[in-house]
A = this chain, B = another copy of it.
Amino acid sequence: MQEDRTPLKTVRIESPVMAKNRQLAQANQRVFNSHGILVVNLIGSPGSGKTTLLEAMVARLGDALAVIEGDVQTRRDAERIERAGGRACQIETRGACHLDAQQVGRAVQDLRLETDPCKVLVIENVGNLICPSSYDLGEHLKMAVLSVPEGDDKVLKYPSLFSRASVLVVNKIDLLPHVHFDVDRAVDECHSLNDGIIVFKTSGKTGEGVAELCNFLAARQAELAHGIGE
């Protein structure tokens, strides 16, 4: 009998929940593109310094930046962004471990981008290294935050996020003298999963590295707006 040499096909089966989320994410991205807004899905552990980093970014980007804050409970993070002079809208997931595209679509309406535009929108996801990485929100890029006190062994332990992110932010570098964290190890392990990832080293507290990160996002936004305007 002749061997069948037809190559095997991988068929991806998508659950109805994920298919619905993908459609809503695509709709969100059409809205973002129509306004020329670069959208970032910011994902990291609880306490990795995402909100402090955003406070430092508000100081540089001003009105060009808007923020959607995702938390299980409380409006604490949106209030922090507003106290720093930024624009923020809070989503409370009431138990859910990640944001979804429907929640983000509603929050975007609350931001009234037609009358009050911005250039960069950062969606700070619920503090969780696992579940948020699977739900597309319509963003242009995922930005993973790994803070120095979490340890340099985390990339391969939580590969889903680090393999899908376009940007890795190694945050709280002001704490490097006080904890063991080998930056090269973390970055090398990240490149072993994802060789195109772009790395920034920041401290939301001291502001180190925040200008470079903001410049990168502004350049990406300009590319996006230029591409859409062509």
Contacts and interface: CB of A to CB of B under 8 A. Distances in A.
A94 to B, nearest CB: 10
A45 interface: yes
A50 to B, nearest CB: 11
A129 B73 CA distance: 13
A157 to B, nearest CB: 5
Nearest to A156: B74
A207 to B, nearest CB: 16
Contacts of A156: 73-74, 76
A154 B48 CA distance: 11
B154 A95 contact: no
Determine the main DSSP class of A at the interface with B. loop
In the complex, the count of this chain's copies comes to 2
A147 interface: yes
Nearest to A129: B46
Contacts of A158: 46, 72-73, 127
A150 interface: yes
Contacts of A131: 97, 128, 130-131
A171 to B, nearest CB: 11
A149 interface: yes
B130 A129 contact: no
A47 interface: yes
Interface residues of A, number: 31
Interface in A127-161: 127-131, 147, 149-151, 153-154, 156-160
A153 B154 CA distance: 23
Contacts of A128: 97, 128-131
A76 B156 CA distance: 10
A154 B46 contact: yes
A110 to B, nearest CB: 21
Contacts of A46: 45, 129, 150, 154, 157-158
19 contacts: A45-B45, A45-B150, A46-B154, A71-B157, A72-B157, A72-B158, A95-B130, A95-B160, A97-B97, A97-B131, A127-B158, A128-B129, A128-B130, A130-B131, A131-B131, A149-B149, A149-B175, A175-B178, A175-B179
